[in-house]
Amino acid sequence: MSVSGEMLAFLGLAFVAVLGGILLIQLTKVVHMVLALVFTFVSIAGIYLLLSAEFVAVVQILLYSGAITIVMLFGIMLTNNQKQEEEKGNRWRKILLLLGILGFAFAVYIGIYNLDIPVQPTTLHEANTEQIGIALFSKFVIPFELMSVLLLVALVGAIVLAKKDDEGA
């Protein structure tokens, strides 16, 4: 394990991602939690970039930290949720939990560190947007079309729900 620019970038991004996840659980206000989630999403997109999956990274930011988070924020703010979660549980339980988490982290670390994935030379890092497009429209046409039908059903469902609400009022 040598210190390279990539390693440093990964460590930084991973730190922010994990920190965002921990804050998401630990913070008490809902809006703060959503913002912590944004940090996690963005740093995961950064990790995708390090793996030279540009398209996935950009779509991750576009959909998760762009659209989905804003919809969540919108919902939270409109309902004006000022509730704060209260802490519960005693100290022994916390210590046991911490031990459990540490044990799990150690087990995962051992498992991953000794895992040997055979590296095959691929061309996936070149022009991968084009490759995704070609794969979607040649190999995976039927799942792709099924997805579009599913989304259409969701859209129609949303419209029907909204319409019903309108008539009732």
Partner 1 sequence: MMQELLQSAPSWTKVGIFFGLAVLFLFVVLGFVTFAILSERKIMGFMQMRIGPNQVGGSWGLLQTVADVLKLLLKEDTIPKKADRPLYILAPVLAFAPAFMVLATLPFTNQFQFADIGVGLLYYIAISGITTIGVVTAGWASNNKYSLMGGMRAAAQMISYEVPLVMSLVGVVLLAGSLNLREIVAAQEDIWFIFLQPVGFIVFFIAAIAELNRVPFDLPEAESELVAGFHVEYSGFRWAFFMLAEYVYMFAMAALTTLLFLGGWHSLPFLDFIPGAVSFALKFSVVIYVLIWIRVSFPRLRADQLMEFAWKVLLPIALANIFLTALLKELF
Q: How far is the CB of 38 from partner 1 (least distance, A)?
A: 6
Contact residues: partner 1, CB under 8 A: 5, 29, 31-32, 35, 38, 42, 54-55, 58-59, 61-62, 65-67, 69-71, 73-74, 77-78, 127-129
**Nearer to partner 1 by C-beta: 62 or 107?**
62
What single letter denotes the amino acid at residue 135? A
Complex with partner 1: residue 21 or 66, whichever CB lies closer: 66
**Separation of alpha carbons 72 and 112, rounded Å:** 34
Closer to partner 1 at the Cβ: 18 or 127?
A: 127
**Beta carbon nearer to partner 1, 40 or 65:** 65
Least separation in angstroms between CB 142 and partner 1:
21
Specify the residue for token string 């994990």: 18
CA 148/CA 144 separation, integer angstroms: 6
Smallest separation (angstroms) from partner 1 to the CB of 169: 16
Cα 75 from Cα 30, distance rounded (Å)? 11
Helices marked H in the chain: 5-26, 30-50, 54-60, 69-78, 91-113, 128-138, 141-168
Minimum CB separation of residue 165 from partner 1 in Å reads: 17
State the minimum distance, in angstroms, from the CB of residue 85 to partner 1. 16
Distances (CA, A) of 129 to 33, 58, 95, 102, 136: 32, 11, 47, 39, 11
- Rank residues 115 and 162 by Cβ distance to partner 1 and give the closer one: 162
